[in-house]
Structure formats: C-alpha cells, structure tokens
Amino acid sequence: MSEESDDVPMTIDEIERLHEEARRVGAGDREREALVDALLSRHDREAIGYHFELLRDRTDEALYQALRDCFERHGKPAEGVLREVFLRERSSRARADALFVLGRMRSKHARPLAVEAVGAEDEELRRMGGVVLGWVGAEGPLAACCPRGSCGVRSPARYGP
C-alpha cells in the first residue's frame, strides 16, 4: 500500500477487488496480507459487516483462517456487529464464527452467547460454545463442568489447525 492510500480508507469495491485477487488460484501470502490490511483500514459497521460476510466462503482455508484470525483487530466496533450476527443469523456456521471471534476478543458478550450456544441443536455451534466457555470461563451451574481453562480446549492463540 502506498503512503497516500494509508490516509484514505479503501472503498468496499476496492476491497472486493483485493478479495478476488486473494481468491485467485495461486494467490499467496502477499495477496492475503493486502486484503487483511485493506479490511483493517476501516472499522465502520459496513466494513466490519463486509469482513464478516467474507468468512462465509471457506473454499480457500488459508484465506478463511487469515480473515477470521485478524477480525478481532477491529476492536470494540466489531463486538456489536458480531453479537447481532450471533443473535439474528440462521446459519450455525456463521453464528459459530461470530462466537469464536467474540471469545478471542474476550468480549463481555462471549460468555452469555457461549452459554446459549452450548444448548443449541447444531453440533458445531454447541462445540464452539464449549470452546469459548473454556477460554472465558463459565458461571453458575456450568462453572462446575467448565471452569476457566479446564474444558480441555486450547487457548485462543493456539486454536486452529
């Protein structure tokens, strides 16, 4: 990125072009890093929502991991968007992704949403609820079976393949 482009956040259309480059067969770290930098140049609801939408495409696992793992760098502005995704989304996979990021962020929303997820019918969402409770700890009746760090899950920094 040039110094000039660092001063002006990219438009969603410009970010979309970088996404297409990063999805191209043979694209590597350089293209992924350019996309991540562009996504993290904006922290408004539109850009955060667009960033989350990109997580729906899992055809390139390395790209998916890069996009998910950098999401928390949006900081506080992302928490409300992720909470809304968890509460309104029908896709269990999207809800699990939102919960994962909230858990890594140690968001105040992570614990209550993880408790909800543990009771979900969907296995992936239930599992993610347990993972996040392992990171942030459980309260109430769940505390006996899942105190902070004892649920047999890895720390968020080591989570992933």
Do 110 and 140 share a domain, yes or no? yes
Enclosing H/E stretch for 120? none
* Segment 60-114, tens digit of pLDDT: 999 999 999 999 999 999 999 999 999 999 999 999 999 999 999 999 999 999 9
Instruction: Single out the residue in 74, 106, 121 at which a domain terminates.
Output: 74
pLDDT of residue 8: 78
Do 60 and 100 share a domain, yes or no? no
pLDDT of residue 128: 97
d(CA 47, CA 38): 10
For residue 80, tell me if it sits in a domain: no
Q: pTM here?
A: 0.81
What domain range includes position 5? 1-74
DSSP 8-state assignment for residue 106: T
Rounded to an integer, what is the distance from CA 4 to the centroid of its chain? 29
Instruction: Single out the residue in 74, 94, 115 at which a domain terminates.
Output: 74
Q: What φ, ψ does residue 58 adopt, rounded to 5°?
A: -110, 20
pLDDT of residue 50: 97
Report the number of distinct structural domains present in the chain. 2
Do 37 and 99 share a domain, yes or no? no
Do 95 and 69 share a domain, yes or no? no
- What average pLDDT does the segment 121-148 reach? 79
For residue 35, tell me if it sits in a domain: yes
* Segment 111-125, tens digit of pLDDT: 999 999 999 999 999
Do 70 and 94 share a domain, yes or no? no
pLDDT of residue 41: 94
Looking at per-residue pLDDT, the higher value among 68 and 150 belongs to 68
- Whether the CB-CB separation of 116 and 129 falls below 8 Å is answered with yes
Do 122 and 62 share a domain, yes or no? no
